[in-house]
Amino acid sequence: MSRKTSIFLPVIKTLCITGLVIIFCFVFLNFPLPRQTGLTARYDLVLTFIPLILVSYGIFRLPGQWGSWFAPLFMALLLCLPLSGLWASGNSEQYVLGGSIQLSDSANYYIDALRFLEGGRFSSFSSDRPLMVSFFAGLLSVTGRDFKAALILSLILPILSMYISAREVQRSAGALPAAIFTSVLFMFYRRYTGLVMSEMLGISLGLLAFTFLWRYFTQPRKMWLVTGLGLLTLALIARLGAFFILPLLLLWLVWECRKHGWPVYKMLFVTIAVMALAFGINRLVYDWVAEPGVRSNPQFTFHLYALVTGGGYWGDLLNHHSELNALQGNDYLRRALQISWDYFVQHPTDLLLGIYRDLAAYFSDPIRGEFSYIDGASDTVNLVFRLALAVLSLLGITSLFKQDQSKRVFIWMCIIGLLFSIPFVPPTATFKLRLLASTIWLQALLPALGLAWIAGFLPHPIKNLETKLPPAPQLSDTTIKFLPLVVVPLLLLIPAFLRMTAQATILPPSSCPAGQETVYVRLEPASYIVLVDHEDPRQGWMPYIRLNYFMLKMHNIPHATIISFFEGITEPVAMIYGLELKSSQQVLVLAPPEQLVQEPGLVQACGHYQEKPLAYTETFFLANQLDQTGLR
C-alpha cells in the first residue's frame, strides 16, 4: 500500500464513522424512549456504572471491523441516552428548566451565541469563554438556529474524543481498564448533555491532548509531545482549569529531551511557541467577539480573592467591594488584583487556610470533591463507589513504580500540577468538579491503571484468556491526528466567518394593540416548552411536559425567585426562551398554549413585561397574543 493510500483510507473511514455517528444521534434523539431509560442513564449510579463497565468491555473486545464501527456508535448511544432522558421527562436541573430552557451559565452562553449571529458581541460573562461560545454559534448557524439540532451536534466532539482516548488506553492497558476509563468519563459528562457549557469543548480538547501524549509512550516522536501540549493548553483555555500542569509538563519535556538526546532549547522553543499559539487563537477570537473594554477573566480574580481570604465564597470579591462593578477592562483587573494583594499583606496566614480548605474540599466534599460526579440516589452507595475508585486510583499511583520511567514522571507531573492548581480553581466554586473538565481524564486514568495493575496478579490461565481472543482494532496515527486538524482551525474560522457575515434581523413593524408592548423572539425546537395537563396525550417528549411534574422538579433549580414566580402557575402555558431582537436581551415569553404558532421562525409577542418585583423581572414577558412574522 502506498503512503498516499495509507493516509487517504483512514481519513475516508474516519469521515464515514463521523457521519454515521451524526446520523445515529439525530435518529435516536428524534424517537422518544421510555423516559425512565434515559433518566436512569442520567441520574442513576448502580444501574448505570456497573453495567456500563461490563458492556464497554465487551464492545472494546469486538475484533476487526465490528469493533471499528460499533464502538463509536456505542459511545454515541452513551451520550444520547442521558439527553433523551432529559427531553423525555422535561426535568429541571441547576442549568436547565423543563428539559430545554437554559439557565444561569448555560443561558448566558446560549444568548450570547444568538446575539453574535445577530451581528452583536458577547457579554463580559461569555467573553471569558470565547472559543466555546463562538463554536456553538457556528453550530446554530449550520442548523439554521435550530437549537435542538445544535445541541445534538454538540455531542459529536465529546463522543469522538472519548472514543479515541479510550482506544488509546486499551492499546496500552487492555479492554477492561479502557472500560473503567470510559465509565468514569461518562459519569462526569452525562449531566452536561443538553446544556450550552464550556465543559463540552474543555473535555473534548483535553481528551485529544491526552491521546497525543499517551501515544508518545509507544511512539516516542516529538510531534506527539508538542501537539499534545498545545492541545492541552487550548483545552485549559476553553475551560479554565488546572493550569499548573502545563509548566510541570514543560519540565518533563526537558527531561525527555535529555533522555533521547534531543536539542533541549529547540524543543522547548517550539513547544512554547505552539502553546503560545493556543493563547493567540483565544486572544484573536476574543477581539472578534467581545465588547471593547469588557472585563477579561474575572473568574480568576474571584477565585484569587476567595483563596487569600481563607477559602471563602467565590462571589465575595464583588460582595465586599461593590466599587468594582463600575470598572471594566484593565482598570477592573488592576484594582481586583490590588485588593487581593492588600488583603494578603495584612492577613498572610489566611492564604494557608484557603489552600487547606480547598484541598480538604477536593478530597472530602461529597458534592464538590474528587469523584463527586459518581453519584446516584443513595449517599451510602455513592460513598462505596467513590471509595472503590479512590482505592483503584491509589493502586494506579502505586503501579507507577513499575511503569516506564517516562510515563511515571509524566503522570506524577500531572498529579502534582493538579494539586497545585486546586486552590486557584477551587472545588468549592461549583459542583462536581466542573472546573477540572479539561483534565478529568487524569481522574479516569488512575483507576484504569490500578485495575490493570490488579489484573497483573491474576493466574496465568485467566490472563491468557484475553490473548486467545481476536485482536481488537487499533487507531492509526492518521485517525488520531484527523480530529484536531479539523477542530482547531474551526475554532478560528467559525468566529471569523460569522463576524464577517452576521447581520441583525430587519424586524417588521409591530401589529400589537395599542397599550401593549412588543417583543420579537425566534421559535425553534428546544427553545420552548408547553406545560400540559396530566391527561394530555402529547406529554412525554419535548416540548410537552406535564404541569404537575414541572412544578415538582422546578425545585431542583437554585433560583428561589424563579421558583416563587412559577409556583403561581396553575394552568397550561407555553414558554419560549431566546434573544429578544429589539433589545438584544434574553427573554422568557409566557403565553396561552393555543396561541403557540406551529412553524419555526420569528414570532411577534404582544403583552407586558412582568411587573412583580423579581430579580429576573426584565426576562419574563406575559403575552396574550403570538403571531408569526413570516421570517425565518
**Cα 240 to the chain's mean position, in Å?**
11
What secondary structure does DSSP assign to 542-557, as a single string?
Answer: TTEEEHHHHHHHGGGS
- Cα 40 to chain centroid distance, Å, stands at 20
Q: Angle at Cα 31 formed by Cα 26 and Cα 37, nearest 5°?
A: 105
Rounded Cα gap, residues 597 and 591, in angstroms: 11
Task: Supply the pLDDT for residue 138.
Answer: 97
* 200-229 pLDDT, tens digit each: 999 999 999 999 999 999 999 999 999 999
Residues 6 or more apart in contact with residue 96 via CB below 8 angstroms: 86, 102, 103, 106, 194, 195
CA distances from 115 to 87, 145, 286, 383, 542 (A): 25, 11, 15, 43, 25
Query: Using CA atoms, how far apart are residues 484 and 206, in angstroms rounded to an integer?
Result: 11
Q: Is the Cβ–Cβ distance between 256 and 221 less than 8 Å?
A: no
> How many other C-beta atoms can be found within 10 angstroms of the C-beta atom of residue 26?
14
φ, ψ of residue 544 in degrees (nearest 5): -90, 120
Please state at what angle helix 264-289 crosses helix 222-238, rounded to 10 degrees. Answer: 30
Give the pLDDT confidence score for residue 296 in this predicted structure. 62
pLDDT at 468: 66
Q: Pick the closest to residue 182 from 199, 196, 164 (CA basis).
A: 164
Q: What does pTM read for this prediction?
A: 0.94
Comparing CA positions, the residue from 618, 623, 599, 619 lying closest to residue 522 is 599
pLDDT of amino acid 555: 85
Residue ranges for the chain with pLDDT beneath 70: 1-6, 295-297, 460-469, 612-618
Q: What is the pLDDT at residue 5?
A: 59
